[in-house]
Chain A
Amino acid sequence: MPEREGPGKRTLKATRGDFAANPRAPFVELGLVSAFSFLRGASDAVDLVLRALEAGYDAIGMADINSMAGVVRLHVEAKEARLRPVIGCRIETTEGLAFLAYPQNRTAYGRLCALISAGRMATPDGAWQAKDICQITLAMLERHADGVQLILLPPDDLETEFTAERNSVPLPFRDGDGTVDPSSGANHLRLVHSAPLTATLDALLPQLIARLPSLRHIAASYLYRGDDIARIARIDAMARGHGLSILATNDVHYATPDRRPLQDVMTCIREKVLLRDAGYRLHANAERHLKSPAQMAALFALWPHAITAARGVADACAFSLDELHYEYPEDPIPLGLDPDQRLADLTWQGAHTHYPGGVPGKVVQLIDKELVLIGKLRIARYFLTIKDIVDFARAQDPPILCQGRGSAANSAVCFCLGITGVNPAEHEMLIERFISEERKEPPDIDVDFEHERREEVIQYIYRRYGRHRAGLCATVIHYRPRSAIREVGKVMGLSEDVTSALAGTIWGSWGSAVEEKRVDEAGLDLDDPLLRRVLKLTDQLIGMPRHLSQHVGGFILTQGPLTETVPIGNGAMPDRSFIEWDKDDIDALGILKVDVLALGMLSCIRKAFDLIDLHYGARFTLADVPREDARVYDMLCRADSVGVFQVESRAQMNMLPRLKPRLFYDLVIEVAIVRPGPIQGDMVHPYLKRRSGKETVAFPSPSPEHGPPDELERILKRTLGVPIFQEQAMKIALDAARFSAQEANQLRKAMATFRSRGMVTAHQDKMVGRMIARGYDAEFAHRCFDQIKGFGEYGFPESHAASFAHLVYISSWIKCHYPDVFCAALLNAQPMGFYAPAQIVRDAREHAVEVLAADVNESGWDNLLEARRDKKLCPLRLGFRQIDGLKEGDIARLLDARNSARFASVQELRERTGLGVPVLQRLAEADAFRSIGLDRRQALWEVRALKNVPDLPLFAAAAARDEGAEESAAALPPMALPEHVVADYQTTRLSLKAHPLSFLRAAYAARGFTRHDALKTVRDGRRVKVAGVVLIRQRPGSAKGVCFITLEDETGVSNLVIWPSVMERYRKIIMGARLMEVEGRVQRDESGDAPDVLHVVVEKLTDGSGGLLTLSEDLLSPKVARADHVKSPLPASVGRHPRNVSVLPKSRDFH
């Protein structure tokens, strides 16, 4: 699944071609902070490298503050530009001291990483360190400094005092005249324990030098402070006095002086002040940019040794990230066994279990081929590592369901190892498409686990490999247009109005720049210089890294300590730790990751399997659900897919009747085709036309002299000549346009950034040109490229689609054969999927499932199935988990007490369970006392009469005397059905009693409104009037301002399409109404072809919420869901998931 990472990452590869290497320069800048020193450095690796190249450097150092997060990017970009990257970091200790630290070799680099890891994983006192904090003490640095060249960064004010713990290092004893006598070993003063030393740097230096033998330099910068010459001379004297040398650096914060404004803004964001109040927090000038070696030499003309020192340190630092050999963990392989042999053994062993009747010849061939390939690429251990994790999950009691996907997952080997459930005997296996010898890319296997139990797997991995050898991958969170404009606007003193107007000009956050036209539309004056500045700075800030976050589940495992490869820090979640590099960085270094992901549907399927076992006596697993069941496909062709994995969204439901899936592979296409890539590449209609036979399936051929005429047919046959999957696009580029493996790789990477960086033309010319040259029709070549372009970042690889399709099939199969089980499992696995419990329950009832209300004498915490009566489906009993505000522990006490006997009264329940009045009140409000003979109102009245603290018998009698026994039950007004329904929605978000609209139906019928179930018989183009409560409002980013609304009445749902012009007229109603009355025209897609797909195109809208008020006065508006299901996953930050939107509000009042 593509991850939403905002604007595409900038790389030199994508923007520039060849670079010429610079000759050796006399100076190397080492004091650089990049944008990965968050909100300090204002330039990214690309800018720094480009500037360094232009300035004439042949090597460049990078030293981010207590972090290695940016080094891979420097490494990649610098190598691209033929510069030598010098990898280091800047260590800031808790004492306030700062050092540049440059490791001389791999082991020293490892020590440095371990140092940062130590500071990030534990506080100096040994407690669990919070996220994003790194505390390194001088003592820690001392233990890790071997082989690390340290350069002391003096403070701005040389008189600043530092407090450092003294340690037990033997200090040379000074004679009276201050000289050290090196010959005498006897006169060493041993400080065992003493008070911390507080002194200026000058006085502290002997300590530091004694403790840090690799500290040879003190940094000096010429920053136009006014007293630079005096200052540097003083530092020089100080250094000489202690046998050190000064080292020139410009304390670089940005590549070029014009980045100073951005750096100032970042400082303000960091310090949370307005720019105009920032004062001395900002730098006085723009001198901290990357100056050329010549400029630096001129500035340090008085101290040439400072320049040579920098060069010397850079030369001595021979370490390169290329030296990080990645080693798979050996653990899963028994000692002394060859991994390839082990993999082969396990594979054949698995093959014989899976095919008890003999392994089919096709599979034998596949396995042989794959094993050879895996052997060649030496990745057997990778497969074994994943098998180890999967085996752990399976071995749990109860087992954790899991399924693999990803490029390498759809292989016969993975099937035999039990990693995937896609049977190679029945499907085309495609492994060599993804793991090819020429593509030196690591294979990719993602494993989905039940979302409720993934944590067990994660903790197992940490346990098995240790925190020093296992870490989650990082995700770099970049500034996006919305966040950038907010932060910049705030700092520049714009009012909240203006920033939200600016931010509001972007509905989603997909654009990569704030478009000026839209700013204009928002009524803001672009000639205002302040606004222009804000926009310019926003533009610069967009794409800058903001902070590191943990990847959803990408694990890095190593044989040696991982902490010596990359720093590991703690996550925001307890017991999580993650490395500082993201997935691209890892790819660039060829490190393998295992994705351990959570999937709600697997939880649901596991629960469903358990329920089938319990109530129907049949045990299924992911691998042995009956295949290719015609009834399942019939159901899907009817678009009867509420709750089914992946194909339950509205767009998918529209597609199902048109695509008419009859085979597993149709599901694979279904999953992949309803995605922004294929939709924007306009592949849906050609595919449907070809599938319905309206268009012939033809494959263009190249000129005969250029190759086999069926080269495209081989690629596109399965998808009827329309490229739908990402890898088909790649294969076309490779085969039809004769791209080299490397070029294809570039194309693939560029595909992800097409939309944002406009890198289209270069690749287009290349690809189209070559296809035409090979005899393809020009128009066809262009179309091919346009389709590839459309993939953007949202293309779907076939392997993922196949694994997902497998779950689509299994969930459909359960829904088809056991709708009762499916509903219960789905409700018990909430929150997940697209629909709210109300819709899931409604769908189950439409499938003849009897649904019973939650009740104190019947329900459990989970939704249960009750005993089957006369061979029908099991009735579903709603569980207490459906009631808002109840705790599982309280319910456990209730269930415990109920074991002996049913409850006969509220009083008795209270006494036997000892539950507090608030809990009982919740139960009463949810109408769960019906079995005792009390309706909601009476139950509540009874519950309120209870005392919250149980009486001792003696006092009970006294209390009865005081208050007097209640003489008669108060005559409360009876609760009307509509009120009950509203209260049901408030407490359980669904009502089994009636739909709110059924109370208004008579009035609507009289006014000529059509019921939703009757819409099916209305012809295309007819005017209708419909009414319903609003289920979902959507304004997908891809739909050009069109808004979609789903209405529900007591008979079903209807889908509204609202064009932008109508949207503007009825904006208030569209955004605010709970009940809509609509006039519009029925629109059917492809008449006759798919009778179920219809929309109402809205012409007139009325807010009917007043009608709901007559049912009960306490209602609240549902919130706007800005969801965009086409571009799933849903953005977590904006709006909320449609499933969480209550049709009727929770308990709150309006007056």
Chain B
Amino acid sequence: MPVVSANELQERPTALVSEGTHGLVIAAANAAAIAAGVGPSARFADARAICPQLQSVPHDPQGDAALLERLTRWSRRWGPWTALDGADGLLIDTTGSAHLFGGKQATIAQMLRSISQVGYSARAAMAPTAAAAWALARFGGDAQRSQSTPAICEADQITSALAPLPVAALRLDTPTVLLLKRLGLKTIGDLMAVPREGLVRRFRNRRDPAANPLIRLDQALGSAREAIPALETEPAQRAFARVAEPILHVAILLPVLETLSQQLSGSLRKRHRGARRLGFEAFRIDGHVARLEAELARPTRDPAHMTKLFAERLEGLEAGFGFDAFALTALWHEELDAAQPDLSGAVPDDALLASMIDRLVVRLGRHNVRLPQPRASHMPERSVVWVSAVEKLSLPRSRSKAAAARFNAKTPHQLPLPFHQRPLRLLDTPEPIAVLYITPDGVPRRFTWRRVQHEVIKVEGPERIAPEWWREKSTARLRDYYRVEDQAGARYWIYRGGLVGDGRGGAPDWYLHGLFA
């Protein structure tokens, strides 16, 4: 069932482009673009010459694959067994399940309807073998016909249904298709008409099915088996407990929760998984279900930690007539290999930080726990960015190793400055101060901050930081930062915004931006 076009709502000619060796290459194009004469594998520059209004969207094969995988899982509603098929198709085994949806015709119609409701267009075919269905979906009839009446091929019709299709419908690679065409064997029917030993002799060295028409033909006709790996799904991990007497007091829940945590931890350990999101459900005898959820900064299967996440919130549950069943579910879990504690039995520090963050997040909400993250910028206030703690900790883990390495290489985490050059405390907003200095660009002698006058005893600077011209207005002024020490020995970080005669405003203003220890 090839997914033809991702977004037909957009009527403008659009192409997905990827970086080729000689510039951008079109990976896929929408209907409008194809109508305008632009097709896949063309160079984007050439396509632009044909269709100047063609717009490009970066091709994201990983994203496509993930989406297709979701779609494959989703389509399991029509059969117990589904599989990905290349980059643009999926296979559903409807053996014995078609009658549930009102017969084959109705099943396939429902499939097409549902998929178009989700926003995709598709072509479908149903056949006794996967290979035949592949061929019929892609090459059977023209696009219009197959949209309304999809091809359904019964077991006794395979030969006649496949015969008129081109040999390319056998999933052969390009050189083989060309070779067959040169030999005059253009359709599957032509191929079937040739004495078998003639073909065996000519393709005896082709082990790859894509290069051997005989193997493909046998697979399509069902005389050879084809192994197709089904899409594996990871079942949600769940621990369940019943109690003989309904529990009325929330305080007694804790041991139950501990038992559940132990159970869940055990089953997670078996699978080398760790939970990222946990759900706790308490079933009341009157049918009500109380739910709690917790998200974790890093995968964990530590039972004590899991217990702690819910223990404090148990109080809030309405027991009513009492709970008689409980479940703890790892709603989202990730790979987590066994970690080795050090000789003293201590767990590495970052795990402690992570579990502390988890507890804070449970209490304060995920957007209220943030971590500072260094950012490469000369502007002091831009050199730090606050990110949600849960997201920050999970960042490198969610990417591939190479991507994580690139991520780390691209973001220098350490300022290339000696420690003493930046104040410990930076004000969110620099505060205006009055400064006595020798114009135009002398060092500050005295300044008044919050109505207190400070004599400058020692001064170092200026450190000149120019505006980030690519994101600021052209009137933004440079800053001359000074580190100053007053008569009381307190040290401040102050700056002069602008220079006399820089053409970006009047006399420079002074600000206090930070305090040294």
A275–B45 Cα gap in the complex (Å)?
25
- For window 223-251 of A, CB contacts with B under 8 Å fall at 224-227, 229-230
Q: Interface with B: A282-290, A456-464, A886-894, which one?
A: A282-290
A925 within 8 A of B: yes
**Given A280-B412, A1071-B49, A1071-B50, are A945 and B466 also a contact pair (CB < 8 Å)?**
no
When chains A and B are docked, how far (Å) is the Cα of A286 from the Cα of B50? 45
Across the interface, which residues of B come within 8 angstroms of A287, CB to CB?
A: 464
A376 on the B face (CB < 8 A): no
Number of A residues contacting the other chain (C-beta, 8 Å)?
Answer: 64
Interface string of B353-385 (1 = CB under 8 A from A): 000000000000000000000011110000000
B412, B421, B471, B480: which contacts A227 (Cβ < 8 A)?
B421
**Residues of chain B with a CB closer than 8 A to A280's CB:** 376, 378, 412, 415-416
Q: Tell which of B37, B39, B51, B166 has the most Cβ of chain A within 10 Å.
A: B37
B17 within 8 A of A: yes
Q: Is A1114 an interface residue (CB 8 A)?
A: yes
- Residues in chain A near residue B415, CB distance under 8 A: 280
Inter-subunit contact A970/B195 (CB<8 Å): yes
Chain A residues within an 8 Å CB radius of B471: 276
Contact B184 A1119 (CB under 8 A): no
Q: Are B412 and A925 in contact (CB under 8 A)?
A: no
Asked whether any CB of chain B lies closer than 8 Å to the CB of A948, the reply is: yes
CB contacts (< 8 Å) of A273 on chain B: these are: 410
Mark each residue of chain B from 479 to 495: 1 if its CB lies under 8 Å from any CB of chain A, else 0.
Answer: 01101000000000000
Assuming the A-B contacts A945-B201, A970-B198, are A227 and B460 also in contact, with contact meaning beta carbons closer than 8 angstroms in the complex?
Answer: yes
A496 and B139 CA atoms in complex are apart in Å by 35
> Which of B48, B461, B483 sits near A504, CB closer than 8 Å?
B48
Kindly specify which of A622-630, A724-732, A935-943 makes contact with the partner chain: A935-943
Inter-subunit contact B46/A279 (CB<8 Å): no
B-contact bits for A536-568, CB 8 A (1 contact / 0 none): 000000000000000000000000000000000
Closest B residue to A963 by beta carbon equals: B201
A500 CA to B15 CA, complexed, in Å: 14
B14 CB, nearest partner CB in chain A, Å: 10
Known contacts A284-B466, A925-B182, A1120-B46, A226 near B56 by CB under 8 Å? no
Interface residue ranges of A935-963 to B (CB < 8 Å): 936-937, 940-941, 944-945, 947-948, 963
Pair A282/B49 contact, Cβ less than 8 Å: no
Q: What 1/0 flags go to B32-72 for Cβ under 8 Å of A?
A: 00001101000011101111100110100000000000000
Q: Determine if B183 and A226 form an interchain contact, defined as CB atoms under 8 angstroms apart.
A: no
Q: Tell me whether B190 and A973 are in contact (CB under 8 A).
A: yes
Cβ of A872 under 8 Å from chain B = no
C-alpha spacing A1120/B24, complex, angstroms:
16
Stretch at the interface among A105-113, A774-782, A1143-1151: A1143-1151
B contact patch SS: mixed
In the complex, whether A1108 has a CB less than 8 A from a CB of chain B is: no
Measured in the bound complex, the distance between the Cα atoms of B415 and A1067 in whole Å is 55
Q: Is residue A175 within 8 Å, beta carbon to beta carbon, of the partner chain? A: no
Whether, in the assembled complex, B408 has its beta carbon less than 8 Å from a beta carbon of chain A, the answer is no
Residue interface bits A1130-1151, CB-to-B below 8 A is 1, else 0: 0000000000000000011111
Contacting pair A279 B460 (CB below 8 A): no
How long is the Cα–Cα vector from A278 to B39 in the complex, in angstroms?
37
Residues of chain B in range 167-194 having any CB-CB distance to chain A below 8 Å: 168, 174, 177-179, 181-185, 190, 194
CB distance from B100 to the nearest CB of A (A): 35
Nearest to A924 among chain B residues (CB) is B182
What are the residues of chain A within 8 A of B50 when measuring CB–CB? 1067-1068, 1071-1072, 1120
Contact call B51/A226, Cβ cutoff below 8 A: no
**Residue B231 is within 8 A (CB to CB) of chain A in the complex:** no
Q: Is the CB of B200 within 8 A of A963?
A: yes
**B45 with A229: CB separation less than 8 A:** no
Q: Is the CB of A277 within 8 A of B376?
A: yes
Please, which residue of chain A has its CB at the minimum distance from the CB of B473? A529
Question: Complex Cα distance A945/B195, Å?
Answer: 13
- Chain A residues whose C-beta falls within 8 Å of the C-beta of B55 in the assembled complex: 497
Specify which chain A residues have a CB less than 8 angstroms from the CB of B375 in the assembled complex: 279
Contact A278 B183 (CB under 8 A): no
Query: B484 to chain A: closest CB distance in Å?
Result: 12
Q: Could you give, for residues 1106-1123 of chain A, a 1 whenever the CB lies within 8 Å of some chain B CB and a 0 otherwise?
A: 000000001000011000
Q: Would you call A275 and B470 a contact (CB within 8 A)?
A: yes
A529 to chain B, nearest CB (A): 8
Q: Are B470 and A224 in contact (CB under 8 A)?
A: no
Task: Number of B interface residues at 8 Å Cβ cutoff, please give it.
Answer: 63
A712 nearest CB across to chain B (Å) = 47
- Residues on B with C-beta less than 8 A from A286 are 466, 478
Residue A1114 contacts which of B58, B178, B184, B197 (CB distance < 8 angstroms)? B178
B205 beta carbon closer than 8 Å to chain A: yes
Query: What separation, in Å, do the CA atoms of A728 and B90 have in the docked complex?
Result: 74
Judged by a CB distance under 8 angstroms, whether B419 is at the interface is: no
Q: Which residues of A contact B204 (CB under 8 A)?
A: 947, 963
Does B202 belong to the interface (CB within 8 Å)?
A: yes
Query: How distant is the Cα of A921 from the Cα of B203 in the complex, in angstroms?
Result: 13
* Docked pose: A226 CA to B418 CA in angstroms: 11
Of A261, A279, A948, which one neighbours B376 at CB under 8 angstroms?
A: A279
B17–A285 touching, CB < 8 Å: no
Residue pair B470, A492 in contact (C-beta under 8 Å): yes
Instruction: Mark out the residues of chain B between 401 and 431 whose CB falls within 8 Å of any chain A CB in the assembled complex.
Output: 410, 412, 415-416, 418, 421
Tell yes or no: B462 within 8 A of A by CB: yes
Contact, CB under 8 Å: A966 / B183: no
What CA separation (Å) do A1120 and B49 show in the bound complex?
A: 8
Cβ of B88 under 8 Å from chain A: no
Given contacts A224-B462, A226-B483, contact A285 B478 (CB under 8 A): yes
State whether the Cβ of A964 lies closer than 8 Å to any Cβ in chain B.
Answer: yes
B17 contact from A492, A496, A967, Cβ within 8 A: A496
When distances are taken between beta carbons in the complex, the residues of chain A under 8 Å from B410 are 273, 277
| Bound-complex Cα distance A945 to B202 (A) | 5
Residues of A close to B421: CB separation below 8 A: 226-227
| B-contacting residues, A969-983, CB 8 Å | 970, 972-975, 983
B168 touches A226 (CB 8 A): no
A1001 at the interface (CB under 8 A from B): no
Give the residues in chain A near B412, CB-CB below 8 Å: 279-280
Are B205 and A504 in contact (CB-based, < 8 A)? no
Distance (Å) between the CB of B217 and the closest chain A CB? 15
Q: How far is the CA of A1030 from the CA of B50 in the complex (A)?
A: 15
**Which single member of B56, B183, B184, B460 contacts A497 (CB below 8 Å)?**
B56
Q: 21 A-B Cβ contacts within 8 A?
A: A227-B463, A280-B412, A284-B464, A284-B466, A287-B464, A492-B470, A500-B56, A925-B182, A945-B202, A966-B197, A966-B198, A967-B195, A967-B197, A968-B195, A970-B198, A973-B190, A1068-B37, A1120-B46, A1149-B177, A1150-B39, A1151-B166
Q: Which B residues are within 8 Å of any A CB, using their own CB?
A: 17, 24, 36-37, 39, 44-46, 48-52, 55-56, 58, 139, 166, 168, 174, 177-179, 181-185, 190, 194-195, 197-198, 200-205, 375-378, 410, 412, 415-416, 418, 421, 460-466, 469-471, 478, 480-481, 483
Contacts A273-B410, A279-B376, A1114-B181 aside, 5 further interface pairs with beta carbons under 8 A come to A276-B470, A280-B412, A937-B182, A944-B202, A1149-B168
**Residues of A participating in the B interface, judged by any CB pair closer than 8 Å:** 156-157, 224-227, 229-230, 260-261, 264, 273, 275-282, 284-287, 492, 495-497, 500, 504, 533, 921, 925, 936-937, 940-941, 944-945, 947-948, 963-964, 966-968, 970, 972-975, 983, 1067-1068, 1071-1072, 1114, 1119-1120, 1147-1151
The 4 nearest A-B residue pairs measured at CB: A279-B376, A226-B463, A224-B464, A944-B202
